[in-house]
Structure formats: C-alpha cells, structure tokens
Amino acid sequence: MVKLILLGLLAGAFFSSTFILNELMSSAGGHWFWSASLRYVFMLLIITAIIAMQHGFGRIKALMRIFLQHWGFWCITGSIGFGLFYTGICYAADHVSGWVVAATFMFTVVTSLLVLLAFGQRFDKKFIVYAVIVFIGVALVNISEGLHAASITDTVPMSDMLLYGALPALIAAFSYPIGNQLVWQASHNARQRNTELQKAAELNAQRASTSVGIGIDINDQSEPLISEAYDLPATTYDATDLDSVLQSNNTAATSSLQNLIARIPSIETTLLQNAFNKVWLMTLGCLPFWLFLGIIVRPDQPHPSQIINTLLVALLAGVAATTIFLYAREQAVTSSEVAGVDSTQASEVIFALIGGILLLDNAIPSAMGLVGIGLIIVGLIFFAKDG
C-alpha cells in the first residue's frame, strides 16, 4: 500500500503542473477550450508514438480493434473522465486563480468514495474518516487563500468565484473518478466473468465424470456441455453470453444504477493491464467530445505560446501523471487500496501551492493554510498505514 501511495503522490506532483500552466495561459489571454482540447490531441500523438516504439504498430491495431468493438463505452468513458473533467478544470482556471481550482478539485477525495459506493464497492468506515480529514485540510487551504485574495482585491466577487470557479472544478472532481472507475469496472467484469466461466466448466466436468461413473452416456444428454474458458474468444465477452449459465446468480432485484453498471462491457484482454493502453483508448474516445464542444464554443485561434504550454501539460499531466495514477489504481486489489490511491490526488494542492510560490511569486500560505496542508499529509499517512 505504501508503494501505491508513493506512486499516487508522484502522479499528484505531475498533475499539479496543470494548474500552474493553466494559470499562465489564462493570464496570457488564451481561450480555455484550446488549453483543454489540445492537451488530448498531443496526448494521443505522444502515447501512440510511445506504444508503437515499445510494441510496434501491431499493438495500435489491436487497441483499435478493442476500441471499435466497444466504441460507445470508450467514447462515454473518455468524454466523462477526460472531456468533462478537463473542461471543468480549464474553464475554472479561466475565471479564478489556479489555487482555487486546485483546492476545489481536491473534493475528488470525497467524490471518489461516493463513486466507489455507487459501483457497489465496500471498505472500512475509517477510510471515510480519513477522507474527511483530507477534505477538511483542503477546505482550510481554500479558505485561507480565499481570505488572502479578498484582502488584496475586490475585483472577483465570491459569487463569481463559486459559479465560474468552484462549480466547474466540482464537476471535474466528480467526472474524473467516474471515468477511471468505468475503466476499472470493465477489467473487473472480465476477471469476474472468467472466474465464473472456470467454475461453470469445473461444475460441468464434475457432472460429466459423475455421469460416466454411473454408466450414463454423455452423448445422450440433451444439454450441451459448456466449453472451457480458454476456448472462448480472447478479446471480449458480451454481457448476455452466459445468461443461461449464470441466471441463478442474477435473480435478485437490482436498482437502476446497478442495471447501468451491469451494462458496462466485460472486456477480457491483457492489454487493459497496461496503463498506456487505457489512456490511449480513453483519449481516442474523448476526441468526439472536443469536436462537438468546439463547434458549440467556436473559439479564436490559439496563440503559439498556448500551444507550447499545452504540449507541456500533455507531457507532464496527461502522459506521465495519468499513466502513473492509472497504473497505481490498477495495482490496487481492494476497495480500500483504490480509495487510498484516489486520496493521493489531494497532494496536488500542496504541489500547486509550492509551484505557485516558486514560479508565479504567489504568497506563502497563512497559518490556516499550513494547518490545512498538515491535515492533508496526516490523512494520506493514515491511508498508507491502514490501507
């Protein structure tokens, strides 16, 4: 668990570059749409090159087949986890300071737990307490910096900060864990279905053995035997393929949310164990979102400096941070470990404050802000200790 926390913190350090560079681009007058959309265009090009160099273009073709087989799933996942997420981040950065965006987005520590609960995951209640500790720390940082900003200028009313800064960042805080959990659930469904297939095969093998033992000719059985798991297609399984075998396990009534979760495809492939592959699929899936949003917004052409800064964001936050974070999340085997990895995103506000002080000449946090940072660190230590 400690290793997962450290990986999450490293991802948080790279993620924090988003808030610093977005603040720089906003100050230079660049439109938020280009800051958001160009990041994922660059990400797709960079990750495609990385995967091709590591595994050849055959891997890209294999990933494209997976995408086309479940294009609706990947477009929905990419639009939520990458599209809505980063639209909220960049739109907020275009209206308020970077620390406001970073601190408010840290509500994702709590929303991650809510998403896990919605997806039927369970964990010890003490992790809810730890998440609250982290969130209180984030809130103190937010309040302290807000009071400091109010004492300097009155140009940004609190209502505008909440509407144009806090609300978009809050939407981003929900969107990011939802997108990540959808991808995790697809892999989890495949593992679970493979286990059920193996159990079904073992059960039929036992029945066949018993039938032979008592002198019954198997060829006379009216029901066909279920084939072994390794005889099935290796790429994907449709959720309805095994209804006849698993009907007894699905007799309980489920809620509408559980029904939606049950419709998440079971994508059985080892390719999803690679974080780069998952980021590539989600990035490709979010491109229709940016195209549709661009038609609605119709922004002016981006400035060359904005293109360069967006490329840096794509490298640091898009490729490095996202890949490390998804890798750590994939290595988590329990709900508590997943929650622990998600909680490390709270470190982004710490790195954003440090980067703001060093690169943007922002003021040092007040005593209240330092207390908030301390609570964030304590909460993360608790997650690492008891995870």
226-229: Cβ within 8 A, 24+ apart: 226/197, 226/200, 226/201, 227/201, 228/201, 229/194, 229/197, 229/198, 229/201
Q: CA-to-CA distance for 40 and 293, rounded, in angstroms?
A: 14
Neighbours of 127 (CB within 10 A): 22
Q: Check residue 9 and give left, alpha or beta (phi > 0: left; psi -120 to 50: alpha).
A: alpha
Tokens of 341: 């990895």
* Per-residue tens of pLDDT for the chain, all 387 residues: 788 888 888 988 898 888 888 888 887 778 999 999 999 999 999 999 999 999 999 999 999 999 999 999 999 999 999 999 999 999 988 877 777 788 788 778 778 888 888 877 777 778 888 888 888 888 887 777 667 666 665 555 666 666 777 789 989 999 999 998 888 888 777 777 667 667 777 777 777 776 555 554 434 443 332 222 222 333 333 444 434 433 444 444 356 667 777 778 878 788 887 878 988 999 999 999 999 999 999 998 888 889 999 999 989 987 888 788 878 887 887 777 777 787 787 788 888 888 878 887 777 778 888 888 888 888 877 876 665
> What is the distance between the alpha carbons of residues 117 and 84, in angstroms, rounded to a whole number?
21
What's the whole-model pTM score?
0.74
Q: Provide the token pair at 140.
A: 């103190």
**Residue ranges of the domains in the chain?**
2-175+282-386
